[in-house]
Structure 1
Amino acid sequence: MEKLSLEEDGVAIVLVASDANLRQAVQQLEQCDELALDLEFDQNRYTYGFNLCLIQIADGKGKCFIIDPFYIDDLTPFFQLMENPAITKIIHHSNNDILLLDKMGCSVKGIVDTDVAAKILNYERSSLATVLKEEFGKEIDKSQQSSNWNKRPLTEDQLRYAAIDVIYLHKVKSKLLQEIEKAGRMHWLEEEDYLLEQLKYTESENPHLRLKHSYRLNYYQQYLLKWLYTFRENLAQQFNKPAHFVIPNEALVELANNPNTDVHEWLNHTRGIHGNLKKPKNERMLQDALHEAKEAAKANHISHDYPEHRFQRPLRTPETERRKELLTAVQQEIMARYGEYASKLIINQSLITDYSQNGKLRCNKKYGSDIVLEVARDLGIAIHVSTAPQQTSE
């Protein structure tokens, strides 16, 4: 295994940069009951797409393995380690890590999320830096947080930063879970971690309609925007640049809004256009894409009518207002009992609005639903529960 004469707070930092070294590292890590995990990735910040740049795993016994996927052909041994439910994976704010690994075909099991644990304990700010400072009085350097993890070779500062994100997680987990056990909220964490394990990476069905002001376009313009969006994605992938670096979002919507504009003039007078797009070959490709979009819209008889506004304000009636007031009273009592920030895991404005509109409590968390109903009973408030729980945003 490649030798690296680095250590951080008594923990040896071991760089893993080959398939053989990965297999050796995994053989050692398989002997552990608990592993601390973090990923560094690029999500349309410096390069195109959502890409893994680095893997950090601490064994809690004095070693931190920094796995460099840029030099490894087969990550299967690492994936198998992550999918082993017998080994606990301690992760701080695991959502994006889980989604990226799922995108790559790996379903992580045995998760304990220390960010969620901190929220359960009513932390106002639950970042790892905050938790380490409040629980252990330790300050950590976050200057490399926005580092470009695509660049090689990695600097010593980057390697130390990457290691710091995991080498304290065993202690953090032990301390927080001890407090959660005392508070009688362990079943909260178990259910939250289970829900995290169910996360799946999905692509948006109509990502072009998520662009700002796209809802202002008529059906014809939105149809053109979809073609232009696909053109931009293909070019961004070719350039290996974030799509908005090729054509800014607002510029793409502007072109769909004014499709008869002179493309050459538009390219040379629009801010933020990538230089490669202005090359004659790529300019012609853009012109062709716009022409094809217009022809397809014509052939498919796409209307120039405007769609109804996608956002509809919630219906307000005496009954919806009454339901809102009742559940808001329950929310206030939950905040008083469990804390302002912990209560956000249980009940939020989205849940209240949904209940006011439908008259049924649709909560995807059993412990959350149980607490809402218990508090409601204590307040003498009747809450109706849906027989088909619905995922609610937190």
Structure 2
Amino acid sequence: MTVHLHRHDLPDGLTLGPVVAVDTETMGLDPRRDRLCLVQLSSGNGDAHLVQIARGQTQAPNLCAMLADPGTIKLFHFARFDIAAIYAAFGVVTQPVWCTKIASRMVRTFTDRHGLKYLLQDMVGVDVSKQQQTSDWGAPDLTPAQMDYAASDVLYLHRLKAELEKRLAREGRTDLAQACFDFLPTRARLDLMGWEEPNDIFHH
């Protein structure tokens, strides 16, 4: 595994294939308040690219071009949050997307454990540490432990997607899952406008 750290944007000319695993780290859990600090990406080849975002930064042309590219599927775990954080920072709509958390909820209805750590253990046989999850991602210099943690959130998503696709097909829910994925960018923008729980417009 190689972890590449980039400041402010992806380097020119970098291509990560037709399906790119993406994750974010922020200062907190409210994308309207808590700034985007890091975007992690992987092509699934065992390497990770980390893009450190500076406070007040509003542009990342290469990163945003990839996120908006209609020919590149962006693969997330809990895409709803990450899409919102990216939109709040850069105003770019990330699409098309695929979300392992939604897929898990649709096919693993026998459990309420849909966190990435549980999914990787159960479906991929990989144990990742979550020790750095609540560390200070706004620090100017990331520690090696932070970088390893950030990378682990994207390195195995392609393998997880493949396993979840099998179960979606088995249960006849592939098309329904895709419809949910297609709606996620809109769902994220509604969240940013204040229509998240308990004000969700889809609630009674």
2:81 matched to which residue of 1?
Answer: 96
User: Which structure ranks higher in relative contact order (CA pairs < 8 Å, sequence separation ≥ 6)?
Assistant: 2
TM-score when normalising by structure 1:
0.46
1:148 aligns with 136
1:82 aligns with 2:59: no
Q: What is the identity, as a one-letter code, of the residue corresponding to 2:3? A: I
Separation in structure 2 between the aligned mates of residue 174 and residue 44 of structure 1, nearest angstrom: 28
Corresponding letter in the other structure for 1:41 = T
Distance in 1, matches of 2:129 and 2:94, equals 28
- C-alpha distance in 1 between matches for 2:152 and 2:184: 23
How big is the shift at 1:137? 2.6
Which residue matches 2:174? 186
Asked whether the equivalents of residues 120 and 188 of structure 1 are also in contact (C-alpha less than 8 Å), the reply is no
Considering fraction of residues, name the structure with more helix. 1
CA gap 1:166/1:44 in 2 versus in 1, 3 angstroms: closer
Residue in 1 that maps onto 2:43: 59
Which blocks of at least 5 consecutive residues in structure 2 are unaligned? none
Larger strand share, 1 or 2? 2
TM-score by length of 2: 0.86
1:73 deviates by 7.1
- Superposition pairs for residues 285-304 of structure 1, below 5 Å? none
Q: Does 1:392 align with 2:199?
A: no
- Inter-partner Cα distance in structure 1 for 2:143 and 2:100: 28
Amino acid at match of 2:103: A
Partner of 2:34: 50
Q: CA deviation at 1:154?
A: 0.6
CA 1:202–1:138 in 2, change beyond 3 Å: closer, same or farther?
Answer: closer
Q: CA distance change for structure 1 residues 108 and 73 in 2, over 3 Å: closer, same or farther?
A: closer
For residues 159 and 202 of structure 1, what CA distance do their matches in structure 2 show?
A: 28
**1:248-267: CA deviations, max 9, x gaps?**
xxxxxxxxxxxxxxxxxxxx
Between the aligned partners of 2:6 and 2:85, the Cα distance in structure 1 is 20
RMSD across aligned positions (CA): 2.4
The 3 A distance-change label for structure 1 pair 198 and 44 is closer
Amino acid at match of 1:105: G
Distance 1:107 1:56 in 2: 17
1:161 to 143, 149, 171: 149
C-alpha separation in 1, matches of 2:20 and 2:101? 16
> Quick one: which amino acid aligns to residue 183 of structure 1?
E
The structure with the largest alpha-carbon Rg is 1
What pairs up with 1:99-178 in 2 under 5 angstroms?
99-103=84-88, 104-121=90-107, 122=109, 123-178=111-166
Number of residue-to-residue matches in the alignment: 193
Whole-Å separation in 2 of the counterparts to 1:142 and 1:32 = 27
- The structure-2 alpha-carbon separation of the partners of 1:198 and 1:15, relative to structure 1 and needing over 3 Å to count, comes to same
1:197 CA drift (Å):
2.2
Distance 1:113 1:146 in 2: 22
Q: Displaced runs of 4+ in structure 1, greater than 6 A?
A: none
Superposition pairs of residues 1-394 of structure 1, within 5 angstroms: 11-17=1-7, 19=9, 22-24=10-12, 27-29=13-15, 32-43=17-28, 49-70=33-54, 74-103=59-88, 104-121=90-107, 122=109, 123-199=111-187, 200=189, 201-204=191-194, 391-393=201-203
- Asked if structure 1 preserves the Cα contact closer than 8 Å seen for 2:104 and 2:164, the reply is yes
Q: Name the CA shift for 1:18/1:194 in 2 (closer, same or farther; >3 Å).
A: closer
Q: What is the CA distance between 1:153 and its match in structure 2?
A: 1.2
SS at match of 2:2: strand
Deviation at 1:191, TM superposition (A): 1.0
Q: Decide whether the 8 Å contact of 2:8 with 2:54 is kept in 1.
A: no
Change (3 A) 1:192 1:203: closer
Query: Cα–Cα, structure 1 residues 145 and 183, in superposed 2: closer, same or farther, change >3 Å?
Result: same
What's the offset of the Cα at 1:391? 4.7
